[in-house]
Structure 1
Amino acid sequence: MNKRTLLPPLNPRFIFLLSLTVVSSSFGFYLPGLAPVSFCEEKSKGDAEECQLFVNRLDSVESVLPYEYDAFDFCKDTNERRPSENLGQVLFGERIETSPYKFSFKADKACVKVCTKSYDIGSSEDKLKLDFLKKGMELNYQHHWIVDNMPVTWCYIVEDGQKVCNPGFPIGCLVNQEGKPKDACVINADFNKKNTYYVFNHVDITIFYHSGDETNGMHARLVAATLEPQSIKHSNDENPTCEGAPMDIPADFKSNLKVTYTYSVTFKQNDDIRWASRWDYILVSMPHTNIQWFSIMNSLVIVLFLTGMVAMIMLRTLHKDIARYNQMDQEEAQEESGWKQVHGDVFRPPRMGMLLSVFLGQGTQVFIMTFITLFLACMGFLSPANRGALMTCAVVLWVLLGTPAGYVSARLYKTFGGENWKTNVLLTAFLCPGIVFVDFFMMNLILWVEGSSAAVPFGTLVAILALWFGISVPLTFVGAYFGFKKPGIEPPVRTNQIPRQIPQQSFFTKAMPGIIMGGILPFGCIFIQLFFILNSIWSHQMYYMFGFLFLVFIILVITCSEATVLLCYFHLCAEDYHWWWRSFLTSGFTAVYLFVYAVHYFFSKLQIIGAASTILYFGYTLIMVLIFFIFTGTIGFFSCFWFVNKIYSVLKVD
């Protein structure tokens, strides 16, 4: 029977609060909050508990378009059920359903027939189904199977002798017209026919379990699941023996074809693997793991060194200026040039203050959302085992953080002397989210046309709009109400009525060179992590190092702040007091480097082909770049805002 020995699975939005209340009473609470499932034999009936195998969407590194399991005409479960999916799973295109592969705990089976698919040469429908299957093998589409919320992995040995466990396995492979095997066809020398497809129609499944401790009432738990895909042409479709030549499918559909799908399953006891660490063998064996650890540590050392150097230069230079100005009398100070001479213009309201305040409000919302999401992920609550939890948490937090966005935007707009408060709050609520939603909707239209499983259903789009208009927008109005109710931020010095003329600037103190240089250092501290994040999104690798990601996030914030403050100080020393937009764009320009890197990654690392996949890649990349631009720009602006207020208030310049 199936026993829940601990707490039932908790919703990721409530797990943190609930865990605090139950941790004292639940002796075995496991992060990320997923309770283990125990299996035991039904001795009275003589059989064992059923192990349910689920199938997920199929994806490929050569195409951005994932497809449901049923799209490739595989064997279907007669009693198909779909478990409930959270918002994050739907947005990521996960489509989990029950499979026809049925087996019971500790009941080994050999060469069990699942079904036989027949393709008639005279049927145009069968031709379309077979062509789609061939296209999937040509693009190396991968199965993703799940047992007990754990991926069924395909483990193999690479060239250097390292064992790699991939959480997916191919549906088949192709030997091209030149006789060169592609992708998985290299694993078998029998795959040697030119211009031929080989479908993996048989799998040998091995499930490892921890026997548990019957004296304490703890039954067996599954700790690993692996499989070995094979291609077998069964001589007898009714009573297969799982022996014979590979199941080859000619490129030209000239005769009737039958494909029989079979499987074998074996259970093995392994008490060395604990249930809480059952994902370790997948994560440790993933490609580039060792390189990732070394690269991240190397990047952190370099970034910390550069950050310390920037801070040292800034503090020493500024301290020298303040000491020199404090030793001067008023007449000498009037003859002095530099940042003190622009005290009457430094707080002059910027041009397009409305747009700047809107960006800053949205940036505050994104910053708080990112910080909380990464913190929870770092604590383990949003691990890969908790499917879709990361995206669900981010979306829910963004919706609930409309109040600080409206408050910051309204308060700064009032500080800039703005009076059109209705326009301000409407733009804060709709401008940036509207741009993201329009882009997302256009990408979703392409997915709908292509029939991809990643296409968000119409009902989910309505739910997202309901969250936006029903919760986020009203909260933005509430925040704007309190922001406009309070007076604007009072500057420490008075602003002159007549603007001061800005002297001729050198090349390095002009706006564009400073902005371009300002984004280099922040980008330098994230590009290594960015590589692995892009791999997890587009190459379907599992990302789990949230601790390092949170540390890089903190370093990014510090680097953006110090680099922007340093350049702002240099511009003020050159008597250029237009620092409002420049401070935002200096750190925000990191997003431009992010886009350039994404373009480089597309052409150098990915194998994506097809116009639809290319448009989807750059469409989703633009969403990421826009959010990152607002996020980093907000960090730079508030750092400079604090810095400028601090130095002019300390000097008490009248």
Structure 2
Amino acid sequence: MAYDVRPRYSLLIYVCSCILTAVTNAFYIPGYSIKSYKQDENIPLLVNKIYSDNTQLQYAYFDLPFVCPPTGNRRHDSSWASGQSLSLNLGEVLRGDRIKNSDFEINMSQDVECAYLCDRVVDGYSIQWAQQLIEDGYVTEWILDNLPGATSFVTIDRKRKYYAAGFKLGYKDYDMVTGKPAYYLNNHFTMVVRWRKAPGSAGEHGGKVVTGFEVYTKSIDKDQRNMTGCPADVSEEHSPLPLYILPNSTDLTEQYPDSSYIPQVPTDLSQVSMTIPYTYSVYFREEHDVEWANRWDLYFSDQEESTTTHWLAIVNSVIISSVLGAVCMIIWVRTTSGDTKGRGDGILEDAKLRPRKRSEKKTYGLLEKEGNVIVDDDLSDEEGMEDVTGWKLLHADVFRPPPYAGLLAPLIGSGMQLVCMTAGLLSLSCLGVLNPSWRGGFITVGIVLFFFAGGFSGYFSARIYKTFGGQNYRKNTLMTALLFPGLLFSLIFFLNLFTWAQASSTALPFTTLLALIFLWLLVQLPLVHLGSYYGFYRSKPYAHPTRTSAVPRQIPSENTTWYSRNQFVLSLLAGLIPFAVLFIELLFVFKTLYLDKSSYYYVFGFLSIITFLLAITIGETVIITLYIQLCAESYHWWWTSFLTGGSSAVWIFVYMTWYYWTKLHIDGFVSSLLFFSYGGLACLVYGLATGTIGFLVGYAFVRRIYGGVKVD
């Protein structure tokens, strides 16, 4: 038998390209145009939001009642007014960004020792909210020349510096006298802008580019400022600005003039007030060691130690997939070359289709009459019937349509849509097109790929539905187009009700929801219909190598193990193997997403390799699982292949729950609801994609061992 070796070379080329991409640490394209500034040219400082590792709720910076509000002034050399919102892409809106121009005056190469911004008068409710935000560890995000304001750190040996995006809103301490917690708000910002000469002709004409943006915060009490609103010397030590609420009455302050005693909170917080002064400093420092194209490297340098973890994950995946591959090879040899006895596996290939006379007697109850043709399964003892056992007895039932076939086909279609989206995202990320400098680009491109992959969803769903013998083309098309996207949109809308109630920037604006609905109904739905039409009317159903009998064969209940009798338990246990492939990489992913939100996940080269090995492992696991089930003479393998491929999502959700209770410090009902809801949704997306891979591999395996027919 001749085999086509071209797919092997394609596979080898793909693996080599993935390894090469991983070695280059998933390089990225930092931008398509370099923005240079001339001497004294204004550099807009944009404010975005605050976020915390301890909660899922984010808030727009200008929505905070204790920060300086925008004045609405427009500088003479700027087209943006203070407080004006920037146009955001869909991904930025979905991730909770609310970027606006600020009143900070920053001009290239102009150092500012201290500049007064405003005095903000706040009431007791605002002070309480500020205390709660500081308690939750909220971090502020500002943006200068597309770089997030960073907190600078150095390694223990002081040989390397790295950045963590964002800076603390304030800090918590304890009063030395009373022992009670005290909260201090950072109200002075020292900004260090690092620059170098612009490359090319722009640099020859005096142009400069920004290579770093650091923010150092300080809390300075309002009593230590001069007439200009600034302290006499910013670099000196100052008493911090405490956040506490004093009643209007001066009795307590007169009674304890020299005490740090903080009175009890009054009942009417709207009747109390506090003044918070804000100032800032700006310093420009020339940087010779960092090129503009590498200015994002400092945000990633603290993660270099994790490279060993990624390689360990790859080695772990290779070992698991290799062991499973050896088992699959044994199964393949047994099913294609015969049993160890030498006869059993060749029986099906020798079965003939011949006309049968009515006088001929049916012996084993396995004969099928279709018109004038009868499948000849009458094998006498002399013909080796004693060797026909296990999966070889199922050739007349193995391609019988599964129960709930009308649900399985749309799920496979949605899974193919997600597989196409994932492949596109990983490819673009490895090529560097999707990177942190394109804020929200990963989510935006993912949504676009998802909607435009609706054609693949409709095609595969319709063709599989036709293979199952389905006739209601319109019903299948509507289920494919509405089932998963409808569930996705309904969950997002439900969660939005809670985030709206919290006035969080995590909540999607109503216009964004309308835009998603329009994309769903005007882009994806027509593409699903187009793909379904082509798959149902223009394509033939997948051909099966054996005929299906009219009467289902009874599945024996004796001499079968407990795991082969229960396909759900078998699939769930098999899902532990793909989970073992992902486990090590999940440690890094979860740390980036939940423990250190100021970091960026950038190792898409490693992730691509892990994903490729995961797909191989899922295929091998499905083959072994189906072989066990078929040997138990059970032909209900359709759902088993799908559930086995996607069952590792259950273990990921279990691991996520363990991570929530042991590693995270998320407080509040809404934050916990968002964590588990979005985490469960991510597991569902993963399960659909991997379940589809498992189904396709299982389908190809069953067709091959029952006839050697190549998958269409």
* Bin for the TM-score computed over the shorter chain: 0.7 to 0.9
Q: Which of 657, 674, 692 is the matching residue for 1:616?
A: 674
Matches within 5 A, 1:470-509: 470-485=522-537, 486-503=539-556, 504=558, 505-509=560-564
Q: Is the 8 A contact 2:317 2:610 kept in 1?
A: no
1:476-535 deviation line (CA, Å, top 9, x unaligned) = 111111111033212111111222222232123232332122111111122232233333
1:30 Cα deviation after fit: 8.0
Rounded to whole Å, the distance in 1 between the matches of 2:709 and 2:615 is 27
Matches within 5 A, 1:191-230: 194-212=180-198, 217-218=203-204, 219-230=207-218
Q: Tell me the residue number matched to 1:314.
A: 328
Q: Tell me the residue number matched to 1:25.
A: none
The AA in structure 1 aligned to 2:664 is L
SS at match of 2:433: coil
Matches within 5 A, 1:245-264: 245-254=238-247, 256-264=273-281
1:86-118 deviation line (CA, Å, top 9, x unaligned) = 000001111111122211100011111111112
Q: Tell me the residue number matched to 1:15.
A: none
Residues 1:305 and 2:291 are matched in the alignment: no
SS at match of 2:439: coil
Q: Tell me the residue number matched to 1:111.
A: 114
The AA in structure 2 aligned to 1:202 is H
More moved, 132-141 vs 233-242: 233-242
Rounded to whole Å, the distance in 2 between the matches of 1:253 and 1:163 is 42
The AA in structure 2 aligned to 1:508 is Y
Rounded to whole Å, the distance in 2 between the matches of 1:377 and 1:210 is 28
Q: Which of 153, 156, 163 is the matching residue for 1:165?
A: 163
The AA in structure 2 aligned to 1:538 is Y
SS at match of 2:57: strand
Rounded to whole Å, the distance in 2 between the matches of 1:160 and 1:516 is 48
Q: Is the 8 A contact 1:34 1:386 kept in 2?
A: no
Higher relative contact order (CA 8 A, sep 6+): 2
1:327 Cα deviation after fit: 4.7
1:444 Cα deviation after fit: 0.8
1:136 Cα deviation after fit: 1.3
Q: Tell me the residue number matched to 1:591.
A: 649
1:18-51 deviation line (CA, Å, top 9, x unaligned) = xxxxxxxxxxx9814432111122xxxxxx1111
RMSD of the TM alignment (CA)?
Answer: 2.2
SS at match of 2:195: strand
Q: Tell me the residue number matched to 1:75.
A: 68
Q: Tell me the residue number matched to 1:280.
A: 297
Q: Is the 8 A contact 1:198 1:246 kept in 2?
A: no
Query: Which ranges in structure 2 are unaligned for 5 or more consecutive residues?
Result: 1-26, 72-81, 249-272, 348-378
Question: Does the C-alpha gap of structure 1 residues 33 and 203 become closer, same or farther in structure 2, counting only changes over 3 Å?
Answer: closer
In the superposition, the TM-score normalised over structure 2's length comes to 0.80
1:267-311 deviation line (CA, Å, top 9, x unaligned) = 11112111110111111125xx41x32222112112111111111
1:236 Cα deviation after fit: 2.8
The AA in structure 2 aligned to 1:403 is G
SS at match of 2:707: helix
The structure whose Rg is larger is 2
The AA in structure 2 aligned to 1:229 is T
Question: Does the C-alpha gap of structure 1 residues 202 and 413 become closer, same or farther in structure 2, counting only changes over 3 Å?
Answer: same
Q: Which of 198, 222, 225 is the matching residue for 1:236?
A: 225
Q: Tell me the residue number matched to 1:522.
A: 578
Q: Tell me the residue number matched to 1:98.
A: 101
SS at match of 2:690: helix
SS at match of 1:317: helix
Rounded to whole Å, the distance in 2 between the matches of 1:195 and 1:312 is 61
Q: Tell me the residue number matched to 1:560.
A: 618
Question: Does the C-alpha gap of structure 1 residues 414 and 639 become closer, same or farther in structure 2, counting only changes over 3 Å?
Answer: same
The AA in structure 1 aligned to 2:93 is V
Question: Does the C-alpha gap of structure 1 residues 59 and 484 become closer, same or farther in structure 2, counting only changes over 3 Å?
Answer: same
Residues 1:398 and 2:445 are matched in the alignment: no
Q: Tell me the residue number matched to 2:602.
A: 544
More moved, 419-428 vs 89-98: 419-428
Rounded to whole Å, the distance in 1 between the matches of 2:429 and 2:28 is 14
SS at match of 2:84: coil
More moved, 199-208 vs 168-177: 168-177
Question: Does the C-alpha gap of structure 1 residues 259 and 142 become closer, same or farther in structure 2, counting only changes over 3 Å?
Answer: same
The AA in structure 1 aligned to 2:326 is M
Q: Is the 8 A contact 1:204 1:228 kept in 2?
A: yes
Rounded to whole Å, the distance in 2 between the matches of 1:636 and 1:607 is 36
Residues 1:40 and 2:57 are matched in the alignment: no
Question: Does the C-alpha gap of structure 1 residues 34 and 133 become closer, same or farther in structure 2, counting only changes over 3 Å?
Answer: farther
Question: Does the C-alpha gap of structure 1 residues 436 and 387 become closer, same or farther in structure 2, counting only changes over 3 Å?
Answer: same
1:589-637 deviation line (CA, Å, top 9, x unaligned) = 1110111111111111211101111111111112112111111110100
More moved, 354-363 vs 53-62: 53-62
1:217 Cα deviation after fit: 4.6
Rounded to whole Å, the distance in 2 between the matches of 1:483 and 1:214 is 54
Q: Is the 8 A contact 2:36 2:202 kept in 1?
A: no
Question: Does the C-alpha gap of structure 1 residues 351 and 104 become closer, same or farther in structure 2, counting only changes over 3 Å?
Answer: same
Q: Is the 8 A contact 1:64 1:613 kept in 2?
A: yes
SS at match of 1:103: coil
Rounded to whole Å, the distance in 2 between the matches of 1:321 and 1:544 is 43
Rounded to whole Å, the distance in 2 between the matches of 1:441 and 1:565 is 39
More moved, 432-441 vs 131-140: 131-140
In the superposition, the TM-score normalised over structure 1's length comes to 0.87
More moved, 239-248 vs 536-545: 239-248
Q: Tell me the residue number matched to 2:587.
A: 531
Rounded to whole Å, the distance in 2 between the matches of 1:296 and 1:361 is 32
SS at match of 1:264: strand
SS at match of 1:198: strand
SS at match of 2:547: coil
The AA in structure 1 aligned to 2:34 is P
Rounded to whole Å, the distance in 2 between the matches of 1:66 and 1:115 is 24
Q: Which of 281, 284, 305 is the matching residue for 1:267?
A: 284
Rounded to whole Å, the distance in 2 between the matches of 1:448 and 1:487 is 49
SS at match of 1:463: helix
Question: Does the C-alpha gap of structure 1 residues 345 and 115 become closer, same or farther in structure 2, counting only changes over 3 Å?
Answer: same
1:171-201 deviation line (CA, Å, top 9, x unaligned) = 101224788xxxxxxxxxxxx9743211111
Question: Does the C-alpha gap of structure 1 residues 459 and 237 become closer, same or farther in structure 2, counting only changes over 3 Å?
Answer: farther
1:215 Cα deviation after fit: 6.5
Stretches of 4+ moved more than 4 A in 1? 157-164, 176-179, 213-218, 325-333
1:313 Cα deviation after fit: 1.5
1:163 Cα deviation after fit: 4.9
Rounded to whole Å, the distance in 1 between the matches of 2:552 and 2:505 is 58
SS at match of 2:109: coil
SS at match of 1:348: coil
Percent identical residues = 34
Residues 1:412 and 2:464 are matched in the alignment: yes
Paired residues, what number? 597
Rounded to whole Å, the distance in 1 between the matches of 2:587 and 2:549 is 49
The AA in structure 1 aligned to 2:529 is F
